[in-house]
Structure 1
């Protein structure tokens, strides 16, 4: 193989693709438009969620412990004794304004407001009618004599009703159930206080896990980091696949459509050199598309701590992200070789797009599988093509204290190298088949399929 010829063909293909405005828009323009669009959609989603109000009906509100604004401790008691006396009073679920007590229904920054509506009826058919008419999103039903049962040391029942299969009702049920659990914890603390027991009497052992040491901001940052570690390699793969498919179709089916394939075939270049030149040009565009998207991600990761100091905990390892880019080179080569092998079958660019569909059927399941919780690079996954590369990239970007699994790296790159070799071999074989290269010259009475020639 003459590398000077390969370089010449590759440079010619790259130059032709750079003159195509569609290719430039796909590689450079589309990511610039999509990332701000995703951010804008997210902002609109949060804004719409905040404007939405979840209405929860409360049936039997008068059966609950009532607020006592005039409650004062017995005169002459000290501070600790006064607080102890106040702790023996059951807390009200609803405040004086008829809404859930703020300490129980404190809204999260991105949560819809939770509004309480006291209902005059406690009959279940009427409550179901209110739910079906969407006048309320959920209903809290308090059992008769709930406050009196609490005073007697009994356990009253509080039920929550909702609409099956409806998103707003499901969200309201989740929110009000959390409110009731927080209120029930305070009720339990009062029952302990009335028996002269500490509030944590039901927790004989104090369990401290790694999450208990972290602040809320740190927990949010860790969850966001774990999500990015899985999402970034997936986005990288999809952009590389997109950036490889369209140049590969244009270099194969497009050449047939324009009638320039014959000119290239009668040149002094060998078929293997032609395939190698097109392969390197396609891999260049696939990897270039990924590089441009990674550059945008690096900028976002770098400025995130500046815009939001609470996220300044190292969302993604930047050195790991750079190493992840280098590890993407074999994937770009794999997509380039596979796309060339499929694209050469097509007579036109439109037909070439159809032939690329099976490639998505293989790439998407493997990519989703690598994002499954609990899946890591081990003795089995290192042999699964594509998934092993994604798991390797996830491990590069993650911020972890354990040792890096270097023992799996040879198997990962060896598997990818074997797949690239097989795909390139298949592409070279197709370029040596005249009935594939010149399908448009076949007679009208003959048909062709991926499984061989056949007559009509």
Structure 2
């Protein structure tokens, strides 16, 4: 068994493509991915922040102070075209055609309606399908300021002093006191997405050598020679399995180490201080525990991809099978980010999902070590069952020579 493993490892180390996917890619994927996402997000937010929107107010004489505030607002400019818009439908058509960015329809004079005890409903027409859109929030802020002015005037006419108006309008104010610390808050938002990078990389570290050790052996015609050696089928499978497992573990180790190193390097920059200060409390023990959780996952995926590779007739067919397998691995990770999904004694038995939930809890600093023990038990049992199926699969002549 060990002779087979050493032989496969030597051949694996000679394959530059496999070394790239197992070692080089995990080292560079975190800085490149985070930097690219941060760049695109900041660029989109900056463009949306600096964008000046063309507006049109129908019946602006009803609320002249409001219209003047929009006119002098740095983020808005008045429409200076020839189109005459006099209804909500006309504003909607103008927004769809790109004539204006936002339209406001004022049905009546708010000050007169307020004296009669009636409310005035401003209808804001705009396209809210954009991912980053400040139009509504900016318009709402101007409308709220205008409404506050009208309210202050109305209460003043009723004899209510200005200093008492706030207490009358809002006699009880709620103050939020959060018991979660910064690490828990940020970990809940970011920790759920870390498995999206770690677990697929573990699969990638196992799939590339597995394709070569199974389907590649068939295609090159070396599998028959290997079967002639005085080794049992179980020893052959275990030798190949441990080779794939070492590759997958190496990929997981490099990935976690890379994440730890790049977080430490990024701590020297002040752009991500809230996130980095939260991750600063993630200890080396936490990173070690994340790596340990990836070990049974690597065992499961190594057994699975080896069985698929043995079944495939050729290298290309094995690659075609790996695509659906990647989607199959993503589904449990998606389940882990569903609302109210937490690590419990029940969810600890769900493959892949349990590890994703545990990684999130580790990043948050709220991990339950008893549940982690259940995860190791469940994952080890499943990995052992998959490995037994792989040995049985390898013992069938119809599969080896199909």
The TM-score with structure 1 as length reference comes to 0.75
Task: Give the counterpart of 1:234 among 193, 196, 207.
Answer: 196
Report the alpha carbon displacement of residue 136 of structure 1 after superposing the two structures with TM: 1.8
RMSD of aligned residue pairs (Cα, Å): 3.0
Q: Residue in 2 aligned with 1:250?
A: 212
Report the alpha carbon displacement of residue 337 of structure 1 after superposing the two structures with TM: 0.7
Mapped to 2, the partners of 1:286 and 1:340 lie a distance apart of 12
Mapped to 2, the partners of 1:367 and 1:282 lie a distance apart of 22
Aligned length: 386
Question: Quick check: 2:348–2:354 contact (8 Å CA) kept in 1?
Answer: yes
Report the alpha carbon displacement of residue 225 of structure 1 after superposing the two structures with TM: 3.3
Q: Which SS does the other structure have where 1:98 is aligned?
A: helix
Q: Can you list the C-alpha shifts for 1:318-339, whole angstroms capped at 9, x where unaligned?
A: 3323311111111111110111
Q: For the structure 1 residues 192 and 387, does the alpha-carbon distance in structure 2 shift closer, same or farther, using more than 3 Å as the test?
A: farther
Q: Residue in 1 aligned with 2:71?
A: 98
Q: Residue in 1 aligned with 2:133?
A: 171
Q: Does 2:17 match 1:19? A: no
Mapped to 2, the partners of 1:156 and 1:56 lie a distance apart of 23
Q: Which SS does the other structure have where 2:388 is aligned?
A: helix
Q: Residue in 1 aligned with 2:391?
A: 428
Mapped to 2, the partners of 1:371 and 1:386 lie a distance apart of 12
Gaps of 5+ in 1: 1-5, 67-91, 103-113, 440-456
Q: What does residue range 237-386 of structure 1 map to in structure 2 within 5 Å?
A: 237-308=199-270, 309-315=273-279, 317-318=282-283, 319-386=285-352
The TM-score with structure 2 as length reference comes to 0.85
Q: For the structure 1 residues 178 and 380, does the alpha-carbon distance in structure 2 shift closer, same or farther, using more than 3 Å as the test?
A: farther
Question: Quick check: 2:106–2:122 contact (8 Å CA) kept in 1?
Answer: yes
Q: Which SS does the other structure have where 1:282 is aligned?
A: helix
Mapped to 2, the partners of 1:124 and 1:47 lie a distance apart of 33
Q: For the structure 1 residues 411 and 51, does the alpha-carbon distance in structure 2 shift closer, same or farther, using more than 3 Å as the test?
A: closer
Report the alpha carbon displacement of residue 436 of structure 1 after superposing the two structures with TM: 1.4
Report the alpha carbon displacement of residue 11 of structure 1 after superposing the two structures with TM: 2.1
Mapped to 2, the partners of 1:45 and 1:393 lie a distance apart of 25
Q: Can you list the C-alpha shifts for 1:105-129, whole angstroms capped at 9, x where unaligned?
A: xxxxxxxxx4242577433343233
Report the alpha carbon displacement of residue 44 of structure 1 after superposing the two structures with TM: 3.7
Q: Residue in 2 aligned with 1:117?
A: 78
Report the alpha carbon displacement of residue 188 of structure 1 after superposing the two structures with TM: 7.0
Q: Residue in 2 aligned with 1:89?
A: none
Question: Quick check: 2:186–2:275 contact (8 Å CA) kept in 1?
Answer: no
Question: Quick check: 2:200–2:326 contact (8 Å CA) kept in 1?
Answer: no
Q: Point out the structure with the larger helix share.
A: 2
Q: Can you list the C-alpha shifts for 1:5-61, whole angstroms capped at 9, x where unaligned?
A: x33222221221121111012123334554454323541443244235251514134
Q: Which SS does the other structure have where 2:290 is aligned?
A: helix
Question: Quick check: 2:26–2:201 contact (8 Å CA) kept in 1?
Answer: no
Rg (Cα) greater in structure: 1
Q: For the structure 1 residues 438 and 129, does the alpha-carbon distance in structure 2 shift closer, same or farther, using more than 3 Å as the test?
A: closer
